[in-house]
Structure 1
Amino acid sequence: MTNIRFLSFLMLLLAVTNSYAQNTPIQNYPKITGYVGILHPIVTYSSTTTDTNFDGHYVVGMPTGINLWKSQKIGFSAEFVPSVRAQDGSSKMANFTFHPGVLVALGDGFILAGRLAFETSGRYGVTPVLNKTLIKNKNCSYFAALPLPVRFGNDKPTSFTIGFQFGIAF
């Protein structure tokens, strides 16, 4: 009788486990994701000036990237950011940034991206980005991010920018 109870328990456990496994998507790694967004630099500080976006000019970027997640916690990202500047009734592409970096999942939808930056303006530097997934759907998710670029080079003083980014990942 004990063997029958034990076998019944095992069959029940197997059935519950199998049912749960069929309803839970399994993440396979490496995993590739992509995203696109809109970037608004809010204010840039340097030793010579403070430059505020929307004050006499408007700069907007369109970050587009590919993420290669090695595991649930860590990945690599390559981001490409063309920027447009509108001022005095005209606009032009002002800069293009190549942003390779490392992704670290912090939990609760937060991701820290540590990026290097190489710009066509001749500047270079680092860009730490704190990213938060706001809405997660089956096929995409919506996020907001706080990029904090630090730039050097091209005979200009070091600068620090606070920006706001939002977008969609798929």
Structure 2
Amino acid sequence: MALLSCLNRNCVFAQTPPSPPTPTYPRMVGYLGVLHPLMTVDEHGSETNFSNYYVVGFPIGLNLWKTKQIGFSVEIVPLIRAQDGTSRVANVLFHPGVLVNLGHDFTFAGRLAFETSGRYGVTPVFNKIVRHGQTLNYFVAVPIPIRFGSDRPTSATIGFQFGIVF
């Protein structure tokens, strides 16, 4: 009886908040980040960041998602090197690539790499959205740059990156 009475009076019940709108494709997002190369290995051994010098990069990019599963990304990364009391832009990286949505907020980026230092190569990147916001998402990533050229031995680096997607 109370239910019928409530229906006649237009009672308001707690509702589940509306779910975010389903994105339409193609879809473009931008991002900014901070990159810390951690360790580089080549035929001469290994070298770690934070020991005799400090290198930090600032990835700036656009992702164009063609579908929910696949997209294209272009990224530019200025890298600053601080050593012996001075700092400078040591390198700028042009980093186009293909994005693959792995589900559960994981993305794989397979990138080509072209550096102003003369080095080139590929960079597989494993990315995870760690926090969803109303207008921004926060991510962490592990890039593994593999580089060739410029009369230096082939090298592989592991890094840590974090940032925001908007």
| Paired positions, count | 150
Higher helix share: 1
Q: Which runs of 4+ in 1 moved over 4 A?
A: none
C-alpha distance in structure 2 between counterparts of 1:107 and 1:38, whole Å: 24
CA deviation vs aligned residue, 1:79-125 (integer Å, no higher than 9, x gap) = 00000000000000000000000000000110000000000000000
Q: Equivalent residue for 1:53? A: 49
The yes-or-no answer on 1:103 pairing with 2:88 is no
The one-letter amino acid paired with 1:122 is G
Q: Which residue of 2 aligns with 1:7?
A: none
> 3-state DSSP class of the match of 1:36?
strand
Of 79, 82, 88, the match for 1:83: 79
Letter in 2 for 1:136: H
CA drift of 1:24 comes to 4.8
TM value normalised by structure 2 = 0.88
Other-structure match for 1:137? 133
Question: Cα RMSD (Å) of the superposition?
Answer: 1.2
AA aligned to 1:63 is: P
CA distance, structure 2, for counterparts of residue 43 and residue 99 of structure 1: 20
| Structure 2 spans left out of the alignment, 5+ residues | 1-15
Of all paired residues, the percent bearing the same amino acid is 59
TM-score when normalising by structure 1 = 0.86
